Amino acid sequence: MANHAENNPSESPEYIPAVEDDRLAERLASITEEEAEARAAALRAGLSDYELAEEDAALLDYDEDDEDYEPYVAAPPALAVIGRPNVGKSTLVNRITRSKEAVVEDVPGVTRDRVSYDAEWNGKDFTLVDTGGWEQDARGMHKRVAEQAEMAVDEADAVIFVVDGLVGATAVDEAVVRMLRRKKKPVLLVANKVDAPSHMSEVYALWNLGLGEPYPVSALHGTGTGDLLDAAVKALPEFAEHGGMIPTGGPRRVALVGRPNVGKSSLLNKLAGSERVVVDSVAGTTMDPVDEFIELGGETWRFVDTAGIRRRQHMASGSEYYAMLRTQRALDKAEVAVVLLSVEEPVSEQDVRIIQMAVDSGRALVVAYNKWDLMDEERRYYLEREVTRDLAHIAWAPRVNVSALTGWHKDKLAPALDTALTSWGRRISTGRLNAFLGELVAAHPHPVRGGKQPRILFATQPSTKPPRFVLFTTGFLDPGYRRYITRRLRETFDFTGSPIEVSMRVREKRKRK
């Protein structure tokens, strides 16, 4: 059986003797870079005998660019949007950012954390911070929401205070004014939902709040927002008072994803060293993706806490549905995903689906097992069996065992992220790649099918992040053989933490005229 598997790697793609690993590594090490490039050039020239499509030229003529390190610059100023619940803060945020990133629903309390968005007006970049509704005598989760809003004011360089222009100033609005006066920040008073001249009577009364001229706007329709932003830009300083320095290209973006209540927000708070995100035992507390700059491992990272994914997208509704869309968008914008699993519960179908979502999005991947400090030996035994059975397809992802509650092993997260991102951006030279495939095929050729044996003519890596390899072949390679090549690529060149894609382009030989 062993001989059969060795001669047919496509039927047993996991089989490779350890001694063969060593021999392949030795043979590759003995080939100089000049020899590898000469071999690749000869193979590339041989492609002229085959029918090539127009799009092949872009792949074959790709020239690798050197990456430059970017200098650090001061962070842009921060503009916080605050007000009591359901006055239209998130709608105004979406209007200013020209997007639908903030979750909006016609019920109070959808926004709970302070959520940052990049914004720009007339050439001025700034950070717009959406907040949950501020209430003076709030209790429970609502109290923590109000505390987050107040912290946003503390860290902001200017504040937009939103009131309902149809209702006028309420007792809660007056309490917000007292809080803002204590903070001594520039404040722009906004009367929202003013859609017609007949609504202006309530707007004039807002002068009594003592915050200066109120700006009547309709966040829903966009009227009045230009004048508001003109004034806001004038009130903002050139750089953020509390923002520090960030790379011009931005810190590496990390998306925290997972099921509800696995500890994503608790982990973000522990990494930030403050109560950055509202944490509650109620599942689904986080609705909007929450960005935070985290100092970890000697560098700055941009972590994004996302809403917990509890079901398939087509089964969700209302704010939960839109929160899921924003989680997917946050994942698409990230460079690396940290999938958080709880060791207290068995690996579920939903966990596997979330992991697959991260892999399908092409992000680098780190798997973090939370609540490790609560696990006993019996649960450890069953967890290892679950990981082997259910997560074997991502055995290449770094694994970190942490405790979001105590911060145990949080320092191990940065090395895992660095490893995954290094692999995600790794490029193999064309010469070295073709030398590798030449040695691999010589040791384990593709099996003969129907009297024919497809050959690999040439290989190239047209892109990174994630690494993508294209093989020009004379016929289709068996799925098992492609998996075999993928696994050996991963092992030989160390793509720990990164998905890799291997695709084929079958090309026929030119007919002689």
Residue 13 falls inside a structural domain: no
Out of 177, 201, 235, pick the residue that ends a domain.
Answer: 235
- Check whether 94 is labelled as a binding-site residue: no
- Check whether 134 is labelled as a binding-site residue: yes
Whether 202 and 304 share a structural domain: no
The answer to which of 104-108, 338-342, 426-430 has the lowest mean pLDDT is 104-108
Which residues, other chains included, contact 446 with Cβ-Cβ below 8 Å and sequence gap of 6+?
A: 10, 453, 454, 455, 477, 478, 481
Residue 343 falls inside a structural domain: yes
Give helix 33-46 / helix 430-443 axis angle, nearest 10°: 80
Which residues, other chains included, contact 84 with Cβ-Cβ below 8 Å and sequence gap of 6+?
A: 133, 134, 135, 163, 170, 172, 173, 176
- Check whether 176 is labelled as a binding-site residue: no
- Check whether 133 is labelled as a binding-site residue: yes
Tell me what pLDDT residue 279 has: 40
- Check whether 262 is labelled as a binding-site residue: yes
Burial bucket for residue 168 (CB in 10 Å: 0-12, 13-18, 19+): middle
Tell me what pLDDT residue 276 has: 47
Whether 312 and 196 share a structural domain: no
- Is residue 25's pLDDT more than 90? no
Tell me what pLDDT residue 113 has: 52
If you average pLDDT over residues 230-254, what whole number do you get?
80
- Is residue 315's pLDDT more than 80? no
Tell me what pLDDT residue 308 has: 59
How far is CA 387 from each of CA 357, 391, 459, 491, 498, rounded to the nearest angstrom? 18, 5, 34, 20, 18
Q: Using one digit for the tens of pLDDT, what is the confidence trace for 52-106?
A: 887 887 778 765 544 444 455 677 899 999 988 888 888 898 899 887 665 444 4
Whether 272 and 196 share a structural domain: no
- Where b means 16+ CB within 10 Å and e means fewer, 429-451 reads ebbbbbbbbbbbeeebebeeeee
The count of domains in the chain is 3
Under the banding of pLDDT at 50, 70 and 90, the label for residue 187 is: very high
- Check whether 44 is labelled as a binding-site residue: no
DSSP 372-396: GGG--HHHHHHHHHHHHHHSGGGTT
Q: Tokens in use for 273?
A: 């060293």
Residue 93 falls inside a structural domain: yes
- Check whether 3 is labelled as a binding-site residue: no
Tell me what pLDDT residue 8 has: 44
Q: Which residue has the higher pLDDT, 241 or 233?
A: 233
Q: Which domain holds residue 177?
A: 78-101+110-235
Tell me what pLDDT residue 323 has: 55
CATH code, domain carrying 30: 3.30.300.20
- Where b means 16+ CB within 10 Å and e means fewer, 317-341 reads eebbebbbebbbbbbeebbbbbbbb
Whether 59 and 85 share a structural domain: no
Whether 488 and 371 share a structural domain: no
The size of the chain, in residues, is 513
Residue 8 falls inside a structural domain: no
Q: Using one digit for the tens of pLDDT, what is the confidence trace for 116-168?
A: 788 889 888 898 888 877 766 655 555 666 677 788 888 889 999 999 988 88
CATH code, domain carrying 143: 3.40.50.300
- Is residue 491's pLDDT more than 80? yes
Whether 289 and 373 share a structural domain: yes
Tell me what pLDDT residue 16 has: 47
Tell me what pLDDT residue 138 has: 53
Whether 271 and 375 share a structural domain: yes
Under the banding of pLDDT at 50, 70 and 90, the label for residue 488 is: very high
Residue 7 falls inside a structural domain: no
Under the banding of pLDDT at 50, 70 and 90, the label for residue 258 is: confident
- Check whether 129 is labelled as a binding-site residue: no
* Percent over 90 (pLDDT), the chain: 32
Tell me what pLDDT residue 32 has: 87
Whether 460 and 492 share a structural domain: yes
Q: pTM, whole model, 2 decimals?
A: 0.64
Whether 263 and 409 share a structural domain: yes
- Is residue 292's pLDDT more than 60? yes
Whether 83 and 228 share a structural domain: yes
- What is the average pLDDT score of the chain? 80
- Check whether 86 is labelled as a binding-site residue: yes
Q: Which residue has the higher pLDDT, 6 or 480?
A: 480
Out of 235, 268, 300, pick the residue that ends a domain.
Answer: 235
Tell me what pLDDT residue 11 has: 43
Under the banding of pLDDT at 50, 70 and 90, the label for residue 245 is: low
Tell me what pLDDT residue 456 has: 94
The answer to which of 282-296, 363-377, 493-507 has the lowest mean pLDDT is 282-296
- Is residue 314's pLDDT more than 50? no
> How far is the C-alpha of 471 from the C-alpha of 416, rounded, in Å?
30
Tell me what pLDDT residue 513 has: 60
Whether 93 and 230 share a structural domain: yes
Tell me what pLDDT residue 15 has: 43
> How far is the C-alpha of 284 from the C-alpha of 259, rounded, in Å?
9
- Check whether 260 is labelled as a binding-site residue: yes
If you average pLDDT over residues 442-446, what whole number do you get?
89
Out of 388, 413, 438, pick the residue that ends a domain.
Answer: 413
- Check whether 195 is labelled as a binding-site residue: yes
Q: Give the sheet arrangement for strand 115-121, strand by strand.
A: 115-121, 124-130, 78-82, 158-164, 187-192, 215-216
Residue 242 falls inside a structural domain: no
- Check whether 475 is labelled as a binding-site residue: no
If you average pLDDT over residues 194-223, what whole number do you get?
87
The answer to which of 305-309, 321-325, 408-412 has the lowest mean pLDDT is 321-325
- Check whether 265 is labelled as a binding-site residue: yes
Tell me what pLDDT residue 282 has: 41
Tell me what pLDDT residue 107 has: 38
**Alpha helices in 299-429, H assignment, sequence order:** 318-333, 349-360, 377-390, 413-424
If you average pLDDT over residues 296-304, what whole number do you get?
87
Burial bucket for residue 300 (CB in 10 Å: 0-12, 13-18, 19+): middle
- Check whether 83 is labelled as a binding-site residue: yes
Residue 418 falls inside a structural domain: no
- Check whether 372 is labelled as a binding-site residue: yes
How far is CA 118 from each of CA 100, 125, 261, 333, 346, rounded to the nearest angstrom? 13, 8, 28, 13, 38
Residue 3 falls inside a structural domain: no
- Check whether 145 is labelled as a binding-site residue: no
Whether 95 and 152 share a structural domain: yes
Tell me what pLDDT residue 244 has: 61
- Is residue 21's pLDDT more than 70? no
Tell me what pLDDT residue 105 has: 42
